[in-house]
Structure 1
Amino acid sequence: MAHPAVAVLERHLTLYKRLWRASLFSSFVLPVLFLASIGLGVGGYVGQVQGVPYVVWIVPGVLASTAFQMAVGECTYSVFGEFRWNRGAHAMYATRVSVWDMIGGWLLYIVFRVEIAVVVFLAVVGVFGALASPWAVLTPLVAALLAVAVAAPVTAFSATIDHDSYFALLFRFVMIPSTLFAGVFFPVEQLPGLVRPLAYVSPLWHGVELCRAATAGASPPWPVWAHAGYLLVFAALGVWWAGYAFRRRLQD
């Protein structure tokens, strides 16, 4: 018999089989179109950034932001609905599935979704010659780490709130600012010194810099272990919070 966490993963994959067509555009087509319009179109006017063509420079940013936005988006209404709408989490908890099995299976599902999008994106940009380093093969690992670091706390947040209107605040004040000011479109060093530390706090910035080091062969601002360590700590704290939130919500 499959491990309970694997059974939870299978459940989410079974549901995704019915809904995968709805995610094609946002997960695969939109990032490529965005790269073509900004990386190639705007890049023709920008020229080079930090010694590399703008399209090469922006590829890791778009890749990391895709993983970031997928992790945030998938862990909002889907998780909230499991507790408030269809009570699927309560049904699972009534079996031998534990809280940690639910969280583990869910995070595995998020990583699965992100990895498919990242691999397809890498294949497309590789055809266009936008990968400047063989270390680009490591970007799926970075994307997986970033996805868990983001998905775990957002999952906990979604299990904590009592109304889905809070998601508008999450999107407006966390996801959008992080995407705009975490080094995806321009170097963080161009931000005012007072605002710059806010970018460093975002896990997206660390994911972007690790992806950029892999795809462009550039040295990240911090040591690789520091960027990866920050994401690991963020993920661990998020998983702990998710466990606490799930246990409290399952008592309802």
Structure 2
Amino acid sequence: MSASSSGPQEATLRWFEWAPVRGVWRREMALYRRYWPSTSFASLVEPTIYLLAFGFGFGSVIGAAYGYNYRDFVATGVVATSVLFISAFGSMFGTFIRRTFQHTYDAVLAAPVDVHELVTAEASWLAVKAGVYGCAPVIVGMAFGLSPSPGMLLVPFVAFLAGLAFALFGIWVSAIVPSINTFDYVISGVLAPMFLVAGTFFPVDQLPSFAAAAARVNPLYHCVELVRDAVFSDLGLHDLVHVGVLLLFAALMWSLAVWKMTARLID
């Protein structure tokens, strides 16, 4: 009789393991317990200021947009602000600092963690934060008269998807800029125009035809449209286009982020 192997078989690591993601999340949660009051304060104060300035200021002149009260229009549009600030800004600066100054990722990658798992963990954590804080403008809007609707329950999921895409965008940007000061070009030249022509404060149909066409390829525009359709109970098959654009943008940014982070951390 032939002898069989008595030792346990070695575990085979899959291409993607969730254990490293959970590890990064535990670290982020430990840090988050220290700074959550300031983040929560800013997430509630900013939409309040926008609603006071635009909703009541411009709203007294404009009255309505797309048939909705302008305050409600702004409250749903400002979700994009929360998503952008939490995800894109957080990933750009946070990832750059941890990679360049703190060398946190060198320590993480010394463990059995791959770059694509690290990128996924960082982006998904920021996406969850975007999903939570993306609800703040809607909650503030309800305090100013926005009528509750069942579709509001979908807002966290829309904010999560958009937040995931923009967090990955921020990670990719952090890996291609030569210095932290270079972020000024990205903020002023890319993020600010995306935010302003996303239909946040005015309908993109009011723009010149070429600008309106450009706005419709803006991922943030699709986030705003999904939020408005959900809050105003106007969801339909056309919203699958908005979801598809955000999914494609997230997939593209994941590929680029993993590629450039690998070049920075390993190659």
| TM superposition score normalised by structure 1 | 0.92
Conserved? CA contact 2:44–2:140, under 8 Å: no
Q: Write the distance in 1 (CA, Å) between the matches of 2:167 and 2:138.
A: 22
Cα distance change of structure 1 residues 6 and 21 upon mapping to structure 2, 3 Å threshold: same
Which stretches of structure 1, 4 residues or longer, exceed 6 Å deviation after superposition? Answer: none
- Count of equivalent residues: 250
Q: CA deviation at 1:219?
A: 6.0
Tell me, which stretches of 5 or more residues in structure 2 are unaligned? Answer: 1-17
Q: Write the distance in 1 (CA, Å) between the matches of 2:173 and 2:66.
A: 37
Conserved? CA contact 1:56–1:216, under 8 Å: no
Q: CA deviation at 1:36?
A: 2.6
Conserved? CA contact 2:197–2:215, under 8 Å: yes
- Give the structure 2 partner of residue 79 of structure 1: 95
Conserved? CA contact 2:47–2:140, under 8 Å: no
Task: Identify the structure with bigger relative contact order (alpha carbons < 8 Å, sequence gap 6+).
Answer: 1
Conserved? CA contact 2:25–2:125, under 8 Å: yes
- Give the structure 2 partner of residue 94 of structure 1: 110
Letter in 1 for 2:153: V
Conserved? CA contact 2:25–2:121, under 8 Å: yes
- Give the structure 2 partner of residue 197 of structure 1: 213
Q: What percentage of aligned pairs have identical amino acids?
A: 30
Q: Write the distance in 1 (CA, Å) between the matches of 2:128 and 2:248.
A: 21
Q: Write the distance in 2 (CA, Å) between the matches of 1:180 and 1:54.
A: 16
Classify the secondary structure of the residue corresponding to 1:244: helix
List per-residue Cα deviations over 1:31-63 (Å, max 9, x = no partner): 122123211332122111111111112221111
Q: Write the distance in 2 (CA, Å) between the matches of 1:28 and 1:94.
A: 39
List per-residue Cα deviations over 1:94-149 (Å, max 9, x = no partner): 11122122112112210222123123433332343314642121111111111111
Cα distance change of structure 1 residues 176 and 17 upon mapping to structure 2, 3 Å threshold: same
Larger radius of gyration: 2
- Give the structure 2 partner of residue 9 of structure 1: 25
Classify the secondary structure of the residue corresponding to 1:184: coil
Q: 1:101-180 residue pairs with structure 2 within 5 A?
A: 101-131=117-147, 133-180=149-196
Q: Write the distance in 2 (CA, Å) between the matches of 1:57 and 1:132.
A: 14
- Give the structure 2 partner of residue 236 of structure 1: 251
Q: Write the distance in 2 (CA, Å) between the matches of 1:7 and 1:219.
A: 37
Q: Write the distance in 2 (CA, Å) between the matches of 1:76 and 1:56.
A: 31
